[in-house]
Amino acid sequence: MNQAELHRLLTAKSQERKGNILLSSYEQRLAVNLSLIKTQFFSLYQEKEHKAFFYTLLDKLETLYNDRPKDLQNQDIARLNSGNWYQSEQMTGMQLYVDRFNKNIKGLQEKIPYLEDLGINFLHLMPITTRPKGENDGGYAVNSYHDIDPEYGTKEDFLAFSKKAREKNMFLMLDFVVNHTSDEFIWAKKAKEGSQHYQNYYYTYSDRHIPDEFEKTLPEIFPQSAPGNFSYNNDMEKWVMTCFNTYQWDLNYRNPEVFIEMLGNLMSLANLGVDVIRFDALAFLWKKIGTSSQNLPEAHTLISLFRMCLQVIAPGVILLAEAIVAPRNIIKYFGEGAAEGNECEVAYNASLMALLWNSIATKKASLMVKSVTEIPTKPSDATWINYIRCHDDIGLGYEDDIVRATGYDPYAHKQFILNYYCGKLEWSPAKGLMFMYNPKNGDGRITGSAASLLGLETALEQNNKNIIDYAICKILMLHGIILTYGGIPMIYAGDEIATLNDYSYQQNEDQVNDNRWVNRPMQNWKTVTSLNKQKDKPSSIIHNGLKKMIRLRKDHSVFADTNNIKVFSCPNEHIFVYQRIDENKSIWVLSNFNEVTETLNIGWLLSIGIHTDKNTVDLLTGEPIHLIQNELPLKPYEQLWIKNI
């Protein structure tokens, strides 16, 4: 593109952006987004120095658009006219490791009927592209953004799989590891061979001066297994920034070429037929001495720049923010203020996830209620991924001021939660492990499978029917919340059959340093086969319970996410109550976090809109709700989905 062409586009009549505008022709979309792309680009990269790169970017956009497969282009256009599919109540997701689920991509394809039977129509597949042998952070050290690792199959296998998924209306999400590459990635290899050009793709330094300055304020992510934020590379004879593991080199987005090339890598991933791109560790994208280098304004601009470009090239593809940061910071990844809606369409609801685990340990919903009602509402075009467990650890991301306002001391409270889940309290049924405890500041995170953290492993060991029942109720209750809360529920593979911790990682030299592997089990197909034969086993009860709740979710349009949720400050601090609002079709979800029966008074129920006559039913049982002396009882860990008929 030349200057005259740029000027023509910038002054075209259609230039003004309006919200989430999506237009059908490439030219129109470019005209609409161009002025913003230009402003953002030059706010990150000085115009005087980097003008030529801007033209390179514009040419790249066109090339990338032309390279997008025709069928995906058609799908992009079709999506422009069909509302926000990702906010629909029909969406129910599962996250899985292709190899641990069923060997490889072909194996996964064979299991589509299993997933469909449960009601899953959205899959987050963990990294499947090439990676270093040995330790590779579960594939988050990438050797390529689009070459499929032979362990998983071939590109043809994946294209066949994504085509099949599209035919079945199943959506796919893959990771874009945007913050770093592996130390075997082609750019890192060239950097190691001495290329200054590629050394500038990373943060590389001949001496410790700048690394020391950075480390004064950079937090450590893996303080036990990978302390510090820089690694010395003998080939380069230089230090390179490695915020995660030593073999994951942080990309230097201060270099515009890195952004332009990474946009190409993003598209190579999207062109595999991916609907949602998970922006991995995106809070870390911009580094600045004297700061934590997380959540910086430039990182937001960069994400928005990716998003604006993607909207021009492939408007049907959306972005998920993997920002596991404090609640008030997460919400910013949707774009805020004038830029609302300009970043990611979807974000992990890591706040709700951490609060749910807090509520289980404290047996109270109070901190959760206070937190979710104080955090600003997300933009109306955005949605959450609601989840209980994923492949990672549980970070206790609470806002200290809210913890204090709930009556806890933040430090002591965190220690209590860690102790509750990590085997330090004799009375706790939870079986989890401590992840990356940092004695310097008392920070630690938790690993373990949902079932083990919720007490099933202990209960089975003790062969205690009562605790087994409690664990089952807790597992169903938490899933009931993610299925109804507003957003896409994401079930972690194995949780649907109550899979316990997998300790085999301790015998594997590539995994032993990272106890997140305790919650990355192999899918147990034997258990799946026995589901219909042994109906009273925990795995069967949970599988059937989930299947039913998923069906109910899909049958009620009120569960579509239109920000139609009201969380109540409930007179009983053990019960979490919210309403999914729709004039005549509202549904109230009530969950008792206590291990004894708790009650709610008729007066309060009426005040929030719940009728209490025989026409008021609990959708989970199909029975009318039953009050005793004007009180509605909820058994330990019981959940009700109440509807006035």
Between 244 and 435, CB nearer to ligand GLC = 244
Residue 592, C-beta contacts closer than 8 angstroms, at least 6 positions apart: 477, 574, 575, 598, 634, 635, 636, 637, 638, 639
Between 138 and 448, CB nearer to ligand GLC = 138
Contact 504, 578 (CB under 8 A): no
- Set 99, 135, 184, 280: catalytic member: 280
For residue 523, what are its two tokens?
Answer: 């899918």
Torsion, CA 236, CA 240, CA 244, CA 250, rounded to 10: -100
Residues within the interface to ligand GLC (CB under 6 A)? 137-138, 140, 177, 244, 280-281, 322, 391-392
* Min separation Cβ 175 and ligand GLC, Å: 8
What is d(CA 215, CA 204) in angstroms, rounded to the nearest whole number? 14
* Min separation Cβ 162 and ligand GLC, Å: 22
Chain centroid to CA 366: how far? 24
Beta-strand pair 171-176/122-125: parallel
* Min separation Cβ 519 and ligand GLC, Å: 11
* Min separation Cβ 354 and ligand GLC, Å: 15
- Strand runs labelled E in 209-270: 230-233, 238-241, 248-250
Between 322 and 399, CB nearer to ligand GLC = 322
For residue 400, what are its two tokens?
Answer: 């200290």
Residue 208 φ then ψ, to 5°:
-85, 0
Beta-strand pair 171-176/276-279: parallel
* Min separation Cβ 119 and ligand GLC, Å: 25
If one counts every other C-beta atom within 10 angstroms of the C-beta of residue 541, the result is 19
Instruction: Clarify whether 322 is annotated catalytic.
Output: yes
Between 41 and 249, CB nearer to ligand GLC = 249
Between 181 and 452, CB nearer to ligand GLC = 181
Instruction: Clarify whether 280 is annotated catalytic.
Output: yes
* Min separation Cβ 303 and ligand GLC, Å: 15
Contact 152, 105 (CB under 8 A): yes
Between 77 and 296, CB nearer to ligand GLC = 296
Q: Which of 244, 243, 509, 262 is nearest to 392 (CA)?
A: 244
Residue nearest to ligand GLC (CB): 140
If one counts every other C-beta atom within 10 angstroms of the C-beta of residue 1, the result is 16
Sheet (strand 565-567) strand order = 565-567, 575-580, 587-592, 639-644, 616-618, 623-624
- Set 89, 149, 175, 322: catalytic member: 322
* Min separation Cβ 324 and ligand GLC, Å: 6
What is d(CA 84, CA 554) in angstroms, rounded to the nearest whole number? 16
Residues involved in catalysis? 280, 322
